[in-house]
Amino acid sequence: MAHETGSGSACRFLEELSIDGRVSFEESVRKRYVSDESAHTGQLPEAIVWAASTDDVAAVLAAANDRGIPVTPWSGGSGLEGNAVPLAGGIVLDTAELTSLSVSPEDMQATVGAGVVYDDLNEELAAYGLRFAPGISSGEVATMGGMVATNASGFNAVRYGETRDHVRRLEVVTADGRVVECGRGVVKTSAGYSLKDLLVGSEGTLGVVTEVTVGLVGIPEHRRAALVTFPDRESASRAVADAIGSALVPGALEFIDEMSTKMLNAYREDAPFTEQPTLLIELHANNDGIEEDLTFAKAICEDHGMTSWEAAGQENIDEIWQARRDKLFATRSYREEWDIALVGDVVVPISSYPEIVRTVQEVSDDLDLVTSCVGHAGDGNLHFTPLVDPDDEEMVERAHELNERVVTRAIELGGTATGEHGVGIGKRKFMADEHGAALELMQSVKETMDPNGILNPGKVLPER
């Protein structure tokens, strides 16, 4: 076990552990783990451990638990709610080097280490005509451990579901260092409590995922897409609600507001967007019925006053999606010296989608903010991104007020504070409003599985 000298005296016991991974106490290394892709900043950890195996994770957790040392799991560091940011110092346990990968095409499943990157997995699966389907936008950096931890999803969730819908089995290390398998490598089981479903989305507060078996789907034979513009946000969002209510099952159904199209066009010379509220509709099929579905989708959009319909063939769909994936970068570069205050993430019942879109616009206008919206609209998910001068504290406060008002409205509409980014630091204060009496049960589960409170402290659940 290689290590570097520095501070972190409370964690020097790591040097004595028999692990194959690496340990660092170097301040310059530890500083890299104080923040992720969110606006949240944590506390400098005392040590970083890069686990090389499940046994490494177990050894670190057992020793840390005995000493009451906090452990924050870290994988890709691409979270948007501070999910992996250490808030209590201690140890950051990096699982990015757990990259085992085994595909069982005949069983339509793959077993992968927590550090396997989403896009890398799908590149491997393509040789078998298969893929892991949630379709997240940060797939070039997001890892399977992080996706399981936050129950991540994205573009394709409207048809294929979120990460939880595909997880069949988890290998998890508990707070006291036990290695436990939850679930089985089968499509369904009715045996016992579904611990894997409890652990998916728990953000490392109940255990550390080291390996996951996921179900796969076939790559569709036919893909068709269309960029559809509308005169206003509400017309576009009403078309979304009508399409899903009409039993259309798209492969993806993305909402992009006018401000987002302006940002993308400014960022990319080849961006395909007209500067109007836009839907990106993608359909999947393994038969010729896809053309009928496309005609049906167009008729729905016509009913809601669409201003243009631009069909895209299979050969250029990926180019359109790549332009959409650049939204975060386009926002950051839109106004010199300004930056993103936060990336909002709410979900509402599909019939309430026009209402939550309208709420963002009204609150943003009320607070005099530049806010752009995109959303995986087919499943009711909306992201909103206020752009601020980071040196203007009052403006930053207004951006957080926007977030609070929109999240509160989403919960009032029967929705949720987060659809795919997780709770992390930023959404803890909404958990009581969303879950009511069930929150106490969650806190009891946490205390049972992590009685010393060492696992990712300060995340997901508010203090009792």
Residue 462: partners with Cβ closer than 8 Å, 6 or more residues away: 428, 429, 431, 432, 439
Query: How far is it, in rounded angstroms, from Cα 31 to Cα 228?
Result: 45
* pTM for this predicted structure: 0.93
Compute the C-alpha angle 242/418/94, nearest 5°.
Answer: 135
Which whole-number Å values give the CA distances from 215 to 95, 104, 165, 208, 324, in the listed order?
Answer: 22, 10, 9, 20, 27
Query: How far is it, in rounded angstroms, from Cα 112 to Cα 98?
Result: 8
Residue 240: partners with Cβ closer than 8 Å, 6 or more residues away: 253, 255, 279, 350, 353, 377, 378
Query: How far is it, in rounded angstroms, from Cα 393 to Cα 371?
Result: 17
Q: What is the pLDDT of residues 295-335, one digit of tens each?
A: 999 999 999 999 999 998 767 888 888 889 999 999 999 99
Q: What is the DSSP string of 231-261?
A: SSHHHHHHHHHHHHHTT---SEEEEE-HHHH
Query: How far is it, in rounded angstroms, from Cα 357 to Cα 363?
Result: 10
Closest by Cα among 190, 195, 197 to 165:
197
Query: How far is it, in rounded angstroms, from Cα 281 to Cα 294?
Result: 9
CB-neighbour burial class of residue 68 (10 A; exposed 0-12, middle 13-18, buried 19+): exposed
**In the chain, which residues have pLDDT < 70?**
1-8, 314
Query: How far is it, in rounded angstroms, from Cα 41 to Cα 28?
Result: 16
**Res 3: pLDDT:** 38
Query: How many residues does the structure list for the chain?
Result: 464
